[in-house]
Amino acid sequence: MAYGAKSLKLKALIVMPITTPAIKVDSVKNYGGKVLLYGDTFDEAFDYATSLAKKDGFTFIHPYDDQDVIVGQGTVGKEIFEEIGSSIDAVFVPVGGGGLLAGLGTYLKSVSPNTKIIGVEPEDAACLKLALENNKRLALKEVGLFADGVAVKQIGKKTFSLIKDWIDDVVTVSVDEMCASVQDTFQETRIMSEPAGALALAGLKKYVQSRGIKNKKLVAINSGANLNFDRLGHIVERVQLGESKEVLLSVKIPEEKGSFRRFCNYLGKRSISEFNYRAEESEDANIFVACRFNDKSGKGKLLKHLRSKGFSPKDLSNNEVAKLHIKHMVGGRAPQKVLERGEYIFRVQFPERPGALVDFLDKLSDKFNITLFHYRNQGSAYGRVLVGFESKGSNYPKLLKYLSGTGFRFWDETQNSAYRAFLK
C-alpha cells in the first residue's frame, strides 16, 4: 500500500498495531508511508483507522475485505496455475481475514475445480473455522498474537461469502508446529519466514501426516518474512517440540545419595537438551529433563524404558506453563539439611556433542552427593553445567582434586552473588 501510494504520488497513512514487528514498520517507512501504531491487536488498529479516515477525510482501504484487494491477491492463484497447471492436488493457504484465501481460491476453483483449497489457521486465532462450524461469521473472544500477520478476531464479510461455497477443509496448528515450519523453510531455502508465513506449511505437514498422504502435488503459500530477530530464540526453543522430536518430563527420584546419577545412567546416550535438579527436604526430589530424538518414536521408547525401571515420568511437552515458565524456575534455595552439611557450587564446561552430558556424569563418582544440577543445550561448542556438591570445608581440597581429575574446566561459584541471592 505504501509503495503504491508513493508511485501514484498520494499521501498514505498506514495504521498498524503496536505489536507489529519493527521490520514490517521500517519497511513501510522505507517505501514512503507514514506509520501510526495503535492498539495491541489488529481489530483495535482497524477500528481506529476507520474512525480516523472519517474524521480526516481519507479514503479507507480495507486490508482484506475489499473486492479489489481480493482480486489482487487472487493473482497469486493465477501465477500458481500458470506455472504448475491443473495437476495440483491441493493448495494450503494461511488465513487471517481471508483476503488471500478468497482471491486465490475463487480463481483456482474456476480453472482447476478438482484442486482442493485448504485454509490454515493458528489454533488460537481460528476465526474461519469458527464461522464454518456455525455457518455464520462470529468473533473470537481472544486472539493469539504469535502469528501477528493472521491475528484476526473475525473473518471478513465479503471474504467469507466467497470462501464458504468452495472451501474443502481447514487445518489449525499450534505455535510449536509453526516454529518447526519456520525451521523447515530455512533449511530448504535459506529463507527466514515469519510465523504467519510458515503457517500454511505447518498445516500441509499436519494434514499429510494425519492422513498418510503420499505422491501428491501440494502447494503451501508463504505469505511473509517480517520476523523480528529477537523472536528467533523462542522459535528455536520450540522447534523440536513442534516436530514431536523432543519431550519435557517431570520425574520423581528418591532423595538419597547416588539416585541422581543412577537416573542419568538410565537415560543412556540420548541427547539431553535440558536438565534441572535441586535437593529437597522430602523423601523424593523432582527432576525436570528434556530429551531430543532423531525420530518421533523416540519419545514413546524413552517413556516405556523409564517406566520399566520403576519411574513414573510425567510428559509436560504440551504444558504451556512448563514450557514458558517452570523450566526456568526449577530449583530454589538449598534445604536446611544441605546448608548444615555444607554446599559448594561449581560451573563446569565440556565439549558439546550427543551423549556429552552423560559422559560428564559418568566421571562423577558417588563420593560426593550432588545437591544441585542445571544444564541446558544452547547449540554452542561447549556444554555448561552448574552443579552443587554436599561437602564440608575440610573436604574442599579433595573436591578440587576430584574435579581436576575429570579433565574439564571448572570454576568455583560458591561466593557468586546470584547463587547466594536465589539458591542458597
Q: What is the 3-state secondary structure of 52-105? A: HHHHHCCCCCCCCCCHHHHHHHHHHHHHHHHHHCCCCCEEEEECCCCHHHHHHH
Residue of 190, 192, 191 whose CA lies nearest to 235: 192
Q: Tally Cβ neighbours within 10 Å of residue 401.
A: 9
Q: What is the pLDDT of residue 180?
A: 93
Query: Maximum Cα–Cα distance for the chain, whole Å?
Result: 84
Q: What is the pLDDT of residue 355?
A: 67
Residue of 359, 376, 360 whose CA lies nearest to 290: 376
Q: 317: which DSSP letter?
A: T
Q: What is the pLDDT of residue 358?
A: 72
Domain architecture of the chain: domains with CATH: 2-56 (3.40.50.1100), 67-241 (3.40.50.1100), 244-422 (3.40.1020.10)
Within the chain, which residues score under 70 in pLDDT?
354-355, 364-366, 378-379
Q: Which residues, at least 6 apart from 94, have a Cβ–Cβ distance to it below 8 Å? A: 100, 101, 119, 120, 121, 149, 150, 196, 197, 199, 200, 221, 223
Compute the distance between CA of residue 91 and CA of residue 364 in angstroms, rounded to an integer: 55
Compute the distance between CA of residue 315 and CA of residue 328 in angstroms, rounded to an integer: 17
Q: Tally Cβ neighbours within 10 Å of residue 412.
A: 14
Q: What is the pLDDT of residue 393?
A: 74
Q: What is the pLDDT of residue 370?
A: 87
Average pLDDT of the residues of the chain: 90
How many CA atoms within 13 Å lie on the side-chain side of 414? 14
Extract the runs of DSSP E, i.e. beta strands, from 136-270.
Answer: 169-173, 218-220, 246-254
Q: Is 379 left (phi over 0), alpha (psi -120 to 50) or beta?
A: left
In the chain, the percentage of residues whose pLDDT exceeds 90 is: 57
Amino acid letter, 349: Q
Which three three-digit cell numbers place residue 356? 556429552
Compute the distance between CA of residue 306 and CA of residue 298 in angstroms, rounded to an integer: 12
Q: Tally Cβ neighbours within 10 Å of residue 341.
A: 13
Amino acid letter, 375: Y
